[in-house]
Structure 1
Amino acid sequence: MNLPLHALDTAQFERAQQLLGDEWLAQDAELAPLLPVVLARGVGQDWHKSGTFRHHLVGVARALTLWQQPREVRLLGLLHSVYGNAFVDLVKFDASSERGDLRALVGEQAEHLIYLFCTISRTEFTQKLQAHATAADGTMEVAQGAQRLTLTPREVAAFAIVTMADAMEQWSSWQDDVYSRFPYVNPARQQSVHWASSLWPGPMRPTSRIVSQINGWGRALQHPVLRQQLPLPPMFAQCTAELTAGHEATAMSLYWSVIQMDQPLVEPDCAIAVLEQAVRLNPWVGEPQMVLAQLYLAAGRPQEAERAAASAVHCYSCWGNAWDKRVQWDAWMAWARIVRQSAQQGTWPDRLDKLNNMALRQEVAGA
């Protein structure tokens, strides 16, 4: 098979398992006290990309929790847009009059990060991060309104990690189009001309662009000063491996051709070959591996199915958010675990209607 599949990291999976379902946030001693506050500000009713603003904030906080970030960074993730910013016009706290209120809720350190994240030029920060334009001492100069501000290395690292989680939680093909070439967006594109691209939520393809950009932001954390500041996110081999933009785009197109059934439909060999190539080009997202595992099972190849499904579970355990947003992260995780268990136990049904009855009947080793 010669595929770059991942061994399942049991410790990483166990961290992810604790975050499955909605109840994890209510049980989180550091984040739970803030949930009633943000809900009272209407975040459960605000639209945001692939769901509501609440879904987005919780998804970002979940990823940061999975990445073992400290309290102030996780609070930044949960509240990263509450003062509004250039990317999101959703002001939940008035920065001119309510900073003290938020500071009393989250503490001075977390509120400082939240305020900076909302008021600096996120465009300039993201562009500089993408260009690895951090100073030798780990600082970065950015605009804050009409002023220039120098971010400390810890602030740069925190904002980079939150930016990675923020992008992965929300990005799909709709944002690929309306925010094309982010962070170098062309403001001249008119909706009346590009009306087809504007129709939300669009075809719900996975992004063709943002994962390689997240990869670049993560590799920026290999700066000798920045990598000492905070735990590195686990994807891309702790942000050391490179994913090129061309490989990402090609892998997504190959994956989507199978999902859209633009392959021969009687035998799975062509679809398997296409998905194997997608995994070779981008081994860092779980959905192509999970679909490949199911096809291996259908083709009577359980050992290969088990490896691919375990690798998919590993990828889901690293990200904490779905790449293919047609269904949510915990649903992808649940189905991949069923596929893996079936491959291990030889229980994949022959009858099509029996797929409707699938369930994780007992825990398998490591998953």
Structure 2
Amino acid sequence: MEKGLFDDDGELEGWRKKLQGLVPAEGVQVKHIRTGEGVHVSRRIVAVFIMMTMADFCDQLFGFQDLLFDNANGRLEFSGNNFGALWPGDGKPGLWLNSISRMGAVYTLIAREEEIFIQERKRKVGVAVVPDLERNEDIELVLPPVFDYCRKVLEAGDQIVARDLYWEAVCEGGSKAEELLLESIEKNPFVGEPYVVLSQVYLTEGRFEEAEKHAERGLKLLLEWGCPWDKRTSWEGWVAWTRVLLMRARDKSWPQTSWGILNLGLVN
């Protein structure tokens, strides 16, 4: 049993106190968006809204929104008002990862304590408990695999440094590409595209084992996200290209001409 899971003297662990101060166990009261009437929202529904917001941000946001809201610090606080920003901007990956990693941490703690509540009731009655429908306990809070199952928070500063290193590598390339991409991955290991680009660097140099390793990691992360971080091409495009890299790495072959690169393809 996890240490501190049940505390008979009524004292809660520190993280549970903080969580209940942020999202009370009984849920929250909000105003209806149209009528202004009070609406009670259970904590599990709050968690669902958090998860849907994470999904919305990662699907929609890229560098343009950073310009629009002056997101220079990478915390995505929507504090700026640069309504003259021109779409689509320079196409850089957006600085939204810190924001949704913090959301994911809250989501994970909610899911964790909701399970504790059920186990506490089960402990008292000694048998399986019926889900409390008023608390929406029939809704399962599934942990997504991103950010190590939402157990890690990517610091805003690391996010910015990693994005800029990646951008320099893919836009300028050259002999520094490997170093730049490795540094980018060290700062932000949670997205797939830097691994994919690094895999191509290794393929070009004939370093097939390293290429395979990084293509596998990049593909795994892309599939976990279900959307691209670098939105200059589609998620499907990234997945298809990574599969090409992985296949070539396993075959230990890579084109040595520009026409050979152009003719790369993958037939299912």
TM > 0.5 between the two? yes
Deviation at 1:286, TM superposition (A): 0.8
Q: Deviation string for 1:1-49 (max 9, x for gaps)?
A: xxxxxxxxxxxxxxxxxxxxxxxxxxxxxxxxxxxxxxxxxxxxxxxxx
Equivalent residue runs for 1:279-294 within 5 Å = 279-294=185-200
Give distance in 2, aligned partners of 1:138 and 1:327. 43
Verify the 8 A CA contact 2:228 2:235 in the aligned structure 1.
yes
Larger-gyration structure (1/2): 2
**Secondary structure in structure 2 of the residue aligned to 1:206:** coil
Verify the 8 A CA contact 1:272 1:292 in the aligned structure 2.
yes
* Alignment equivalent of 1:241, drawn from 149, 152, 177: 152
**Which runs of 5 or more structure 2 residues have no equivalent in the other structure?**
1-17, 116-136
Tell whether 2:108 aligns with 1:219: no
Tell whether 2:72 aligns with 1:185: no
Deviation at 1:275, TM superposition (A): 0.2
Deviation at 1:240, TM superposition (A): 1.0
Give distance in 2, aligned partners of 1:185 and 1:342. 43
Tell whether 2:234 aligns with 1:328: yes
Equivalent residue runs for 1:96-245 within 5 Å = 134-137=22-25, 139-145=27-33, 146-181=36-71, 184-186=77-79, 189=81, 191=83, 195=84, 198-207=85-94, 209-223=95-109, 224-225=112-113, 229-245=140-156
- Describe the shift of the 1:147–1:177 C-alpha distance in structure 2 as closer, same or farther (beyond 3 A): farther
Deviation at 1:318, TM superposition (A): 0.5
Identity fraction in percent: 30
1:338 corresponds to which letter in structure 2?
V
Give distance in 2, aligned partners of 1:156 and 1:226. 12
Give distance in 1, aligned partners of 2:26 and 2:162. 34
Verify the 8 A CA contact 1:294 1:305 in the aligned structure 2.
yes
Deviation at 1:226, TM superposition (A): 5.0
* Alignment equivalent of 2:205, drawn from 280, 295, 299: 299
Give distance in 1, aligned partners of 2:103 and 2:114. 12
1:135 corresponds to which letter in structure 2?
V
Give distance in 2, aligned partners of 1:152 and 1:272. 48
Tell whether 2:177 aligns with 1:251: no
Q: In angstroms, what is the RMSD of aligned CA positions? A: 2.2
Deviation at 1:256, TM superposition (A): 0.3
Q: Quick one: higher RCO (CA 8 Å, sep 6+), 1 or 2?
A: 1
Aligned pairs, number: 220
Verify the 8 A CA contact 1:134 1:140 in the aligned structure 2.
no
Give distance in 2, aligned partners of 1:260 and 1:190. 26
Return the TM-score normalized by structure 2: 0.75
Deviation at 1:238, TM superposition (A): 1.1
Give distance in 1, aligned partners of 2:93 and 2:209. 28
- Describe the shift of the 1:190–1:174 C-alpha distance in structure 2 as closer, same or farther (beyond 3 A): closer
Q: Deviation string for 1:61-84 (max 9, x for gaps)?
A: xxxxxxxxxxxxxxxxxxxxxxxx
**Which runs of 5 or more structure 1 residues have no equivalent in the other structure?**
1-130, 363-367
Corresponding residue for residue 309 of structure 1:
215
Give distance in 1, aligned partners of 2:225 and 2:100. 11
2:105 corresponds to which letter in structure 1?
R
Corresponding residue for residue 251 of structure 2:
345
- Describe the shift of the 1:361–1:348 C-alpha distance in structure 2 as closer, same or farther (beyond 3 A): farther
